[in-house]
Structure formats: structure tokens, C-alpha cells
Structure 1
Amino acid sequence: MSEWPPPPLSTIVPIEKGPFPLDYSHRIFHMGSCFSQSIGSRLIADQFQVVSSPFGIVYDPTAMADQLDRIMSDQWYTLDDLVHDGHLYHSLDHHSTYSGGDAGPVLERINQSLQSCRDALPQCRLMILTFANTRSFQHRATGRRAANCHQLPSSEWTVEEMGLKALTDRYVPLITNMQARFPSLHMMVTISPVRYLYGGMQQNNRSKARLHLLAETLEPLNVWTFPAFEILMDELRDYRYYDRDLVHPSALAVDIIYQRWLESILTLPAKELLQQVRSIHRDLNHRLRFPETAQARAFRDTTMKKIETLRNEHPAFPWLFSDVIPPTEPT
């Protein structure tokens, strides 16, 4: 007779409760790789207050550290900070979504995003940093480290794998400085579960190992490490949880990791509010077969009333579904 109850189908990664309670009154800053963007988009959908990095996606932790230094400085971007490839102006610190054919609008977008982040960061309760790999690019012509190569020729770059000591020497004083400047800001790091195969599987594993050791080094500084990497590698551990390229986690895998994180850090009232938010989202996303019927109009009216009721019950959170019903101005 086979064993009953059957053994678990996977190794469950234990997750300790987060070292601080998070609720809807707290702002969340996130920065890092495409995995960070996936988590950020889910937080936004769940109506949390999210401050995204003003630089866009970044994979190299040392470039991320440079970006954090720039946020905390009083320096703005000027024409000297841009490179021109013959067609477009680029910032080596920024994702290509900021690039453009005219330097003026490029700098305006960059500095507006930077100002918005500087204004919002002091009100943030949690900072999430997602480390992707240890590969660092230095632009030969300017001597500057780049967060994005903008498909410039490989001959323009010096590529280096950052060692643990260099990463530690960069991050320990940075984290210490940030904690002194923003004493109410809690910090969390994750290692992106996305595999980067530019140097083969072994190189990816060595890179991830250095990032895990960096996270361990930062933990005594009250930096919490959430095991997103372990959940995908050890708990899910099946290609059904990967995207078509077989290196990125699927949407289902990201959903699972995101939900495990929420369960570890949210307060009970926040979890209850989250369920209401998701119920309304399901109503908003419901496809009506006959949208012009009285029944469909009644369904939409009921959904709008649910939003109004939710906001009346939580007047401290006026941003809830503000993209659906703009908040009323106080009289």
C-alpha cells in the first residue's frame, strides 16, 4: 500500500515573518531587475503606494548603488551625462525608455523622475532592492559604469565580474548612510530567480552565489533577505513555472512568490483590505457579454458603489482605485 497521506510534492521553503508589519498606509520603494518590476506591478494592481526607481530596470548591483547615491545627492543630470549614438541621446544610468532624439526632453524626463523620487523617498517605509547578477559594464570613452548599454557596440565597453569584497565595500557604507538619513525606512533585498546565461550556467551560479553572500553580509545591518530565489529554485522547481525562454519565471511563479511575501509581511487588517481590493478587481475585469443591457449597467453601478463604500470605510487611503474614480477634493 502506498504511503498515506502522500508526502509533499515539493520542498516548502520556510519563510519567517517579516521584521516589520506592512500595511496600506506605508509607501514602498522598489529598484532592481525585471523581477523587481514584476513585483512592483503587482503591488500597484493591489492598490499599494508604490514608488518605482527613477532609473528603470537595472541588473548590476554596483550600478544600482551609484543610482542610490545619485538619489541622495543634490546633483541633477546635464548634457555631460548623456551619450549620443548618432541617432539618440542616452543616459548610462537609465533604461532606454528615457532615451530620445532631443537632449532637452530626455533631461527633463530624467530630472523630473529624479525629483519625484527624492520627494517621495522620505515617506517610504520599505525599500526593496532586487539583485540580478554581478556583471558590470564600464564605458571606455567616459570611464563611467553603466546600468544600461543601450545596444552600443561591444568595443565601447570593459566588462567585469564584481567580486564579493567589491560588492561588500560598496554596499555596507551605502546602507549605513541610508539608514542614518532615513531612520524609518526598512530595507529588504531579494536575489532575482531569473537565470542569466551570458557566461553559461556555471557563471550564473557563481554570480548568484556572490549575491547571496552579499545579502548575508548585509543582514547584520538590519537588512531582511526574502527568499524569492529559493522559492523558485527549490520549492517550485519545475519548468511549468518558467516562461517560454526557460530562464524567466512564469506569471504563475511570480504570483506565488509575491503571495508568499505578502503573507510574511502584511498586517491582518492589510490582508483583509487586500481581499476586498482583489474582489473589486475581479468585478472590474469581468467581461460582460452584453455591456449595453440593463443587467450589465446594474453590475457596473454595483461595482462603483463597492469602490465608494471601500473608500468611505478607509478614508486614510484616498488613492484606492483612484484610477477608476478620482478622489474628491476636500472642501
Structure 2
Amino acid sequence: MNFRTVIEPPRHLGYLDHRQHLLLLGSCFVENIGLWLQQRKFDVDINPFGTLYNPESIARNWERIVSGNSFTPDALFQANGLWHSYDHHSRFSRRDRDEALTEMNSRLARAHDRLPVTDRIVITWGSAYIYRLKASGEVVANCHKQPASLFDRELLTVDAIVERWLPIVRYIESHLPACRLLFTVSPIRHLSDGVHGNQLSKATLLLAIDRLQHESRICDYFPSYEILMDDLRDYRFYDTDMTHPSASAITYISELLAESYLTPESREIASQGYKLYTAMNHRPNTGDTDGYKAFLQNTLDRVVRFGQAYPYINMTHEITELNTRINQI
């Protein structure tokens, strides 16, 4: 007997490739996927604004990436000793306003400069609920633990999401003709919305993506949500908070992503790249400095050979870091 509902994702080998430039936007689940790709030497730009959850905030920040218009001091507010932006995750918050602004604009500039060469954009929507500032009607990406009385909560409709995102899709079709959009819905449950509310939210997101797929051939969907909900429907695949996927679940979903979209060559490159990543993060447990220096030199040799075999993968950072470590011993 089969006691699992096995999800078979669509097969499109070569959809993701090490020669591509990838942009990932969305919830913390897209950061899990992005880290998996980054560790395997894919060229990824992950969440230039930090973690984002709802389609409206992601659309708003996409438009900022396109324009490249810098944030100004009046975009920040002070609370609990830090300067925050309602467009950014709290990882950008700082005690000094100029420092926060510099970091936000530097990160924005990097994303804007990369955009013309972007081949794939991976979007993970986490929730269809939005929060609007009562004072301005502005939708915020992060409430930064401000009082709930400052916001109005609202569930986006399928029509509203499609209307907001269809111009983005058309822009990509016109200005980035080689680029495709890969949508996912985060399997992380937002139980603060209530169990039923979370289901309504996820259903809204799924229906909106389905509509966008019917509107444009550049829109694709990977069933992260379905894999965790139906294939891995057991609490052992959740973290201790019982809402986020466990490390093994993230690995499983990532491996299905690889099976769906990577050619055998890319999977081999990813395997080699991950071995180099683990070697780069190895730290000695003893005082054997000679042994560790030999290990670093061996790793450097492997990195150089890897870069020569795959010249489209930039290994400059790894080579510089290893040379620095060797010279410090």
C-alpha cells in the first residue's frame, strides 16, 4: 500500500542553470531556497529588501528595483531606538538613520544594476493579508512591532492581485524577453491569521497564480505548498514552532526543485559546488596549524580547478578568502 500522496512537480530540465542570473523575492521560504541555490554556486540575488510576505509589498518593491529611485530620509521612522522602513525587513533597521539609509540604498542599487541581465525571477508569496497604515493608507511590508491600532488589516482578492501583477508580467515580457517568472506559495502556515484564515489566504494566492499562468506563458509554478501539505503531511517535517518546515523538509523540497529544473550537468556542478562550500566553512578543532594550512591549500586548488572548469561561475571571493586565511597562518 502507498501511504503517501507523492507530488510530481513539472519537469523542465534546464529551466534553472548555473549560467543564469536569478532574482528571488518573497517570504522566508524563498530565502531557504535561495540559500540552497547559493551554496551550490548559483548566481542569486536574494530579497534586496529583506523578507516580504504579501503580493502588494513585493510588487511595490519590484517597481522600486526597476526604477532604482533611492530611498530618502523621510521614508524612515524611529521606534524602540531604531530607524525602520515600512518597505524593509527589520534586518535593515539601524540605530543611526544615515547608516540604515545607506544600507538600504546600496542594496537597492545592486539589485537595480543586476536587473537587465536577470534570467529567472522566483517569487514566493506567503500571505494574501495586508496591513495598511491608517494615517496614509500605505501598505506596509513589515509592521516592525508597531501597535496594531495603527493599521487596518485586509485580505486581498484574487482580482486585485492579478490586476496588480499583470502589468509586472507584461513589463518583463517587453523588457526582459529571456526572463521567466517562477511562482511558489510558501508552505509556512500563518496561524496568526487563524487556521481557516490561513487557508483562505493560501487559496487566494494559488488562484491568483493560476490566473497569471493563463494570462502569460512566462509564468510558471512550483508546488512547494502542496509538497509540504500533502506529500510531507506529518509534524516531523515541521520545525519546533509547528508552522515552519524542518531542515529535512526544506532539503526535500529543494531536491525536488533540482530534479524538476536542473540538467544532469547542473546537478553535478551543484554537487561539486556544495562540497566546496562545506570545505570553505570547515574550521579546525585542534592546534594542528600545519594540517589546517595544507587543508586550505588543497581547498584552494580545488576551487581554482572548479573555476577553470566552469568559467561562467565567479569564484573570485572564495579564492581571495582562502589566500587570506593561508597567509594568516
Using structure 2 for the length normalisation, give the TM-score.
Answer: 0.90
Summarize the Cα distance change of 1:135–1:309 in structure 2 as closer, same or farther, 3 Å threshold.
same
Aligned to 1:258: 254
In terms of mean alpha carbon deviation, does 52-61 or 284-293 score higher? 284-293
Query: What residue in structure 2 maps to residue 206 of structure 1?
Result: 200
Alignment partner of 1:180 out of 174, 177, 201: 174
Distance 2:109 2:281 in 1: 34
Task: Give how far 1:17 is off.
Answer: 1.4
CA distance in 2, matches of 1:169, 1:82: 29
CA 1:299–1:83: 2 relative to 1, 3 Å = closer
Tell me, in whole angstroms, the C-alpha distance in 2 between the residues paired with 1:57 and 1:245: 19
TM alignment of 1:215-254, pairs within 5 A? 215-220=209-214, 221-222=216-217, 223-254=219-250
In the aligned structure 1, how far is the partner of 2:254 from the partner of 2:320?
Answer: 23
Instruction: Show the counterpart of 1:4.
Output: none
| Residue 42 (structure 1) shift | 1.4
- 2:153 aligned residue: 159
Between stretches 210-219 and 18-27, larger displacement belongs to: 18-27
Matched-pair contact (CA < 8 Å) for 2:13–2:263: no
Determine if contact 1:95/1:147 at 8 Å carries over to the other structure.
yes
Distance change in 2, residues 1:301/1:267 (3 Å): same
Deviation at 1:325, TM superposition (A): 3.9
Q: 1:290 to 1:199 in 2, by over 3 A?
A: closer
What secondary structure, in the 3-state scheme, does the structure 1 residue paired with 2:191 have? Answer: coil
Structure 1 residue 82 displacement after superposition? 1.9
- For the pair 1:35 / 2:38, whether they are aligned, the reply is no
Alpha-carbon offset, residue 275 of structure 1: 1.9
**Whole-angstrom CA distance in 2 between matches of 1:323 and 1:144:** 44
Matches within 5 A, 1:60-209: 60-85=54-79, 87-209=81-203
Q: CA deviation at 1:80?
A: 2.4
Partner of 2:327: none
C-alpha separation between the residues in 2 aligned to 1:168 and 1:318?
A: 37
**Is 1:304 the equivalent of 2:300?**
yes
2:164 maps to amino acid: R
Q: TM-score, normalised by structure 1?
A: 0.90
- 1:57 match: 51
More helix by share: 2
Amino acid at match of 1:121: L
Quote the Cα distance in structure 2 between the aligned partners of 1:287 and 1:101: 33
Q: Judge conservation of contact 1:18–1:224 (CA < 8 Å) in 2.
A: no
Q: Report how far residue 20 of structure 1 moved.
A: 5.1
Say which SS state the counterpart of residue 148 (structure 1) adopts: coil
8 Å Cα contact 2:54/2:141 also seen in 1: yes
- Aligned-residue sequence identity (percent) comes to 31
Say if 1:179 and 1:185, in contact at 8 Å, map to a contact too. Answer: yes
Tell which deviates more after alignment, 221-230 or 171-180.
171-180
Instruction: Check whether the contact 2:13–2:260 (CA below 8 A) recurs between aligned residues.
Output: no
- The structure-2 alpha-carbon separation of the partners of 1:285 and 1:217, relative to structure 1 and needing over 3 Å to count, comes to same
> How many angstroms does 1:185 deviate by?
1.3
Please state how far the C-alpha of 1:299 moved relative to its aligned partner.
4.0
Instruction: Provide closer, same or farther for how the CA distance between residues 293 and 57 of structure 1 changes in structure 2, counting only shifts above 3 A.
Output: closer
C-alpha deviation, 1:19, in angstroms: 7.4
> 66-75 or 110-119, which moves further after superposition?
66-75
Whether the aligned pair in 2 keeps the contact of 1:291 and 1:297 (CA below 8 Å) is: no
Cα 1:28–1:74 change in 2 (3 A) is closer
**Residue of 310, 315, 326 corresponding to 1:314:** 310
State how far apart, in whole Å, the 2-side matches of 1:309 and 1:241 are: 38
Q: 1:36 to 1:213 in 2, by over 3 A?
A: same
What is the DSSP-based 3-state SS (H/G/I as helix, E as strand, rest coil) of the residue aligned with 1:174?
helix
Q: Could you list the runs of 5+ residues in structure 2 that have no partner in the other structure?
A: 325-329
State the aligned residue count.
321
Aligned in 2, Cα 1:296/1:70: closer, same or farther, shift over 3 Å? closer
Deviation at 1:296, TM superposition (A): 5.2
Name the aligned partner's letter for residue 33 of structure 1: S
181-190 or 10-19, which deviates more: 10-19
Asked if the contact 1:19–1:224 (Cα under 8 Å) also holds between the matched residues in 2, the reply is: no
